[in-house]
A and B are shown apart, each in its own frame.
Chain A
């Protein structure tokens, strides 16, 4: 049973502890939201302010660990591939039941919101009158409920990992061997690439001129197109095999863990692009730094991916 694998037990234990801490924070947050009035000078208000430090401490601690847990989760899933028949990398394990993909995308979304919260908190503390206090607490409540959902999904997913029936490996999951085209809107790879670079151009413009709305939508679209571009085009150059289509294999040692860099820069670039817009809406402030980070990470991502293709061409004289 998968449950007895060491890394899984440790993972569940840690998640349970973090959830406990977050629940304590949640209870306090509800209490604070009910009676918070910053302009008040009553003892009660000062007590609430003291409580808010506990809440902040817990949130920083748990969310910090959550950020570490995502790569650990992926690493753990990757390791489990020896126990799941037919799986050669994390792709097979993730897809061994229907919960896996939803779980993974939920985790990424939660991470995104956590990042947003951290930045919002930073600006709230900088000001002298806690201008975004209630907003950030409400955001925390949202995150908290998502984390509960995540924990439930975690259990369902782990319980249902099959160890006796074979699962499909990445080539079957992502492959074009079927009749239907896995790329959305029935695009060919070349069309997808065109769209990909075009969207990058849009994110570039929105970052340079700080157009919030454009940044929001172009980054979201860019993220979407980038995912498919990496799996169906750039990944093949990482593996140097035109039929190897997999977002997870590149996280393994034999590809120098380049997957972490690729997905990491993509996540950070689009995160900063989207949050810059969201925060501008929430706080009314334009945060130049975030546009710059978005620009930097998105560009790093594009350069890194494109370089794989270029290097291959330089070395071999042809494309795959």
Chain B
């Protein structure tokens, strides 16, 4: 649009006014940084969860009694296998174990190592396992957070569980899961299914719930109906419900943040407005000269607005790049705690890099519009100054 001379002039002006711009630049960068970090983190976590969820069971069936889920009969899985569209029905054994010394819970997951493991996530964790050696003695695989806790209480090689029947069971630590799988495995203990049944007090004919896999997702609605009709005391959880629940959770946390952040942005707008409204006499003189020499008000407005836009854009680039670095290279210390919550053991995970155009444009719009809005009226005020008075 404008030619090279205009930009030459513009950059010289930016340089000349750099002291005025620098404070705004720093604040803007900070604002973009915080905003982008939160949004990037939230998005990355969602992606992680989605990929994790992808390999989850399509349906989870539980037996209900008095509004609570109770141990589900293993025999039910035979019934479910008969339903068309269900490729696999796998009874699962897992539960929470209360670790008294630190008053926290582990998740114990029992795996039938001779059965084909449907859950891709669990499959990932137990590949390369020498099953024969593992099943020789009572052994367990533990997550990173569990290891840290057990180490704290000097349980370096084994732990002694107390079963609900007041028996003690010593289980050896076979291996610890790698840090990369922490989102899934942090507070998890994997052991043989019968051993898990013992420790959790679940009888042989029962399981915690039954996981069902159906490859055709378009049939989900029909299968859901069939499942629900099988028993009066059945609860069926669909994978899509879980996905939606997570999305709502993230939306909620993210949305709340954005709304609060609007207050920050509005304050920022007022600062901008004030700052750019203070037109010093030297600035006035410059504009007066330009106007006298044939620059129209429109030209001067374009100059002023572009000047502000350059500051805004530069701050956006810097703030975004810093946020990217913070979230994906430094793994967002401090900030991640807000999202992970304190319910589980503190985690240490490396996030998957994921940004897309719609995310960046969302951030850009959310930031640039308030900025430019605040700058409009001051730019106009400066441009319509009477050239003669300005040059006096």
Binary flags per residue of A79-95, CB closer than 8 Å to B gives 1, else 0: 10011000000000000
Of the candidates A1, A10, A24, which one forms a contact with B365 in the assembled complex, judged by CB atoms under 8 Å apart? A10
| Whole-angstrom CA separation of A72 from B372 in the bound complex | 19
Does B290 have its Cβ within 8 Å of any Cβ on chain A? Answer: no
Residues of B within 8 A of A79 (CB): 358
The reply to whether B362 and A4 contact each other, CB–CB distance below 8 Å, is no
Instruction: Give Cα A277 to B301, complex, Å.
Output: 33
Which of B247, B298, B358 sits near A75, CB closer than 8 Å?
B358
A6, A21, A53, A65: the one within 8 Å of B254 (CB): A6
- Residues of B277-295 contacting chain A, CB below 8 A: none
Number of B residues, CB within 8 Å of A: 29
Q: Which residues of B contact A160 (CB under 8 A)?
A: none
Main secondary structure of the interface of B (DSSP, over half): helix
Bound form: Cα–Cα A3–B254 in Å: 11
- Given known pairs A5-B255, A50-B384, the reply for A14 and B376 (CB within 8 Å) is no
The interface residues of chain A lying within 8 Å CB-to-CB of B370 are 17
CB distance from A302 to the nearest CB of B (A): 31
A25 to chain B, nearest CB (A): 10
B39 touches A14 (CB 8 A): no
Residues on A with C-beta less than 8 A from B301 are: 53, 57
B336 interface residue per 8 A CB criterion: no
Chain B CB within 10 A, most for which of A17, A72, A75: A17
Contacts of B384 in A (CB 8 A): 50, 53-54
Report, as a range, how many residues of chain A touch the other chain: 20 to 34
B1-52 interface (Cβ within 8 A of A): 39
Instruction: Give the nearest-CB partner of B297 in chain A.
Output: A53
Query: Does B380 lie within 8 Å of A54, measured CB to CB?
Result: yes
Within 8 A of B (CB), among A7-41: 7, 9-10, 13-14, 17-18, 20-21, 24
Instruction: Tell me how far the C-beta of B307 lies from the nearest C-beta in chain A, rounded to whole angstroms.
Output: 15
Which residues between 346 and 392 of chain B lie within 8 Å of chain A, taking CB atoms? 358, 362, 365-366, 369-370, 372-373, 376-377, 379-380, 383-384
Known: A4-B254, A6-B255, A13-B369; 8 extra A-B contacts, CB below 8 A, are A3-B255, A7-B358, A14-B365, A14-B369, A50-B384, A57-B376, A57-B380, A75-B358
Q: Which residues on B are within 8 Å of A, measured CB to CB? A: 39, 244, 247-248, 251-252, 254-256, 258-259, 262, 297-298, 301, 358, 362, 365-366, 369-370, 372-373, 376-377, 379-380, 383-384
9 of the cross-chain contacts (CB-CB < 8 Å) are A4-B252, A5-B255, A7-B362, A9-B259, A10-B258, A13-B369, A17-B369, A57-B379, A83-B248
Interface residues of A (CB under 8 A from B): 1, 3-7, 9-10, 13-14, 17-18, 20-21, 24, 50, 53-54, 57-58, 61, 65, 72, 75, 79, 82-83, 163
